[in-house]
């Protein structure tokens, strides 16, 4: 199950209490104060890992608590520090404070670690308050409580290339052809219910990550279809491949299809329009020639990069991969 949003409650460990004690040893008159300090509470950390790709764990576990510090004791014994708790999340997870909606941190790199809640400081025992004028203090401190908060986790898929387009435009088929991903493929709308990730290799040692973004239709920014749920994943991509079905059974007007999806992205976040985009006519093995030429002419007029492919026959696939690689390499340099 793909889960990309979750709400959790986190609590760092409380500090241990300081101790009130005095030495009671034979042949040691007026032994003095010997109360040790309490241990510090454990911190709670978030760490990003590439081994996870969903927040499903947090659907079943919402409460996380680090270890509390041990209390101080006599003979100046310091309480044990509480154990830290590390919560692993997928790379691309953003953590928000539910109270005010503030973005606390963005775990957008493998192994990125951030402290989500700090443990409380341990209280001082009475030995810490001894002075030359107060050699038998009866003062000690309680440990401080650890931080706690309700946090919102939001996962935004990290991919170099995002494949967008109307349902049944051929997104899942394309990603299955150019990568080792095996998404569900069928001839009905909204077959894909979650973003699929695939790794595309090129050259001897190079690769890029591609994701198909499901469910974009008119009204997606308002929640129609699946678009509102997954439009956020487009934000992370460096390049968009906009698939347009030009077959007999595809959209009646391919230009309208392109403009509709573009409008939906703009209404969701106009910053998405700044992303480079390759308009790609799909299913050209069964293409309606009028639709294909109409889309090609539109791209020429708008000076938009254009490719045409058939994921079934393989026609145009090498050219599309080369265009993607060329763009990513230029951007890298």
Give bridge partners of residue 332 from the DSSP assignment.
Answer: none
Q: Is the pLDDT confidence value at 58 over 60? A: yes
H or E stretch covering 327: helix 317-332
Query: Is it the case that residue 181 has pLDDT exceeding 90?
Result: no
Domain boundaries, the chain: 5-155, 161-332
Kindly state the average pLDDT of the residues 40-47.
Answer: 97
Asked if 196 contacts 182 with a C-beta cutoff of 8 angstroms, the reply is no
Percent of the chain with pLDDT over 90: 53
φ/ψ (deg, to 5) at 268: -75, -50
The fold of 5-155 is Spo0b-associated Gtp-binding Protein; Chain: A, (2.70.210)
pLDDT digit string, tens, across residues 124-169: 999 999 998 898 899 999 999 999 999 999 988 777 898 888 887 8
Q: Strand 5-11 to strand 306-308: parallel, antiparallel, or no bridges (unpaired)?
A: unpaired
Q: Give residue 53's pLDDT.
A: 78
pLDDT score, position 219: 56
Sequence-separated (6 or more) residues with CB below 8 Å from residue 301:
none
Average pLDDT over residues 54-76: 93
User: Taking residues 209-216, what's their average pLDDT?
Assistant: 77
Distances (CA, A) of 80 to 84, 87, 97: 12, 22, 30
Q: What is the mean pLDDT of the chain?
A: 86
- Copy the structure tokens of residue 176: 């299955």
CA distance 244 to 164: 9
pTM of the prediction? 0.71
DSSP-based three-state secondary structure for 194? coil
> Concatenated DSSP letters for 81-137?
PPPPEEEEEETTEEEEETTT--EEEEE-STT-EEEEEPPPPPPPPGGGG--SS-SS-
Residue 220 pLDDT level (bands cut at 50, 70, 90): very low
Q: What is the pLDDT of residues 260-292, one digit of tens each?
A: 888 888 887 888 888 899 999 999 998 899 999
Superfamily name and number for 161-332: P-loop containing nucleotide triphosphate hydrolases (3.40.50.300)
d(CA 310, CA 250): 14
Q: Which two tokens stand for residue 21?
A: 């004690």
Q: How far apart are CA 55 and CA 197, in angstroms?
A: 16
With CA atoms as reference, report the closest residue to 115 among 85, 79, 73: 85
Contacts of 234 (CB under 8 A, 6+ apart): 162, 164, 213, 240, 265, 272, 275
- Give pLDDT, residue 217: 53
Cα 103–Cα 106–Cα 112 angle in degrees, nearest 5: 145
Compute the chain's Rg from CA coordinates: 29
Of 249, 263, 242, 229, the closest CA to residue 309 belongs to 242
């Amino acid at each position: 199950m793909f889960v990309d949003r979750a709400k959790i409650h986190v609590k760092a460990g409380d500090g241990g209490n300081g101790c009130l004690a005095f030495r009671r040893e034979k042949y040691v008159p007026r032994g003095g104060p010997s109360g040790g300090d309490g241990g510090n509470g454990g911190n709670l950390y978030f760490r990003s890992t590439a081994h996870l790709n969903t927040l499903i764990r947090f659907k079943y576990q919402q409460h996380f608590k680090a270890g509390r510090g041990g209390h101080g004791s006599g003979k100046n014994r310091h309480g044990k520090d509480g154990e830290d708790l590390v919560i692993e999340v997928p790379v691309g997870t953003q953590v928000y404070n539910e109270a005010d909606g503030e973005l606390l941190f963005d775990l957008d790199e493998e192994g990125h670690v951030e402290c989500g809640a700090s443990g409380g400081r341990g209280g001082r025992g009475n030995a810490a308050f001894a002075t030359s004028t107060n050699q038998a203090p009866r003062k000690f401190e309680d440990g401080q409580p650890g931080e706690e908060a309700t946090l919102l986790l939001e996962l935004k898929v990290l991919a170099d290339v995002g494949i967008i387009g109307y349902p049944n435009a051929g997104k899942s088929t394309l990603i299955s052809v150019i990568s080792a991903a095996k998404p569900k493929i069928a001839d009905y709308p909204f077959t894909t219910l979650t973003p699929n990730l695939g790794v595309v290799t090129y050259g001897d040692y190079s690769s890029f990550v591609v994701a198909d973004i499901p469910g974009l239709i008119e009204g997606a920014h308002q929640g129609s279809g699946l678009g509102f749920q997954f439009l956020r994943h487009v934000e992370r991509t460096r390049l968009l491949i906009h698939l347009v079905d030009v077959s007999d059974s595809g959209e009646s007007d391919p230009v309208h299809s392109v403009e509709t999806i573009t409008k939906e992205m703009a209404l969701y976040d106009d910053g998405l329009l700044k992303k480079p985009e390759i308009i790609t006519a799909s299913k050209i093995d069964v293409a309606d020639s009028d639709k294909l030429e109409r889309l090609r002419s539109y791209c020429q007029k708008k000076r938009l990069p254009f490719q045409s492919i058939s994921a079934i026959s393989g026609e145009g696939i090498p050219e599309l991969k080369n265009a993607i690689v060329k763009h990513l390499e230029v951007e890298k340099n």
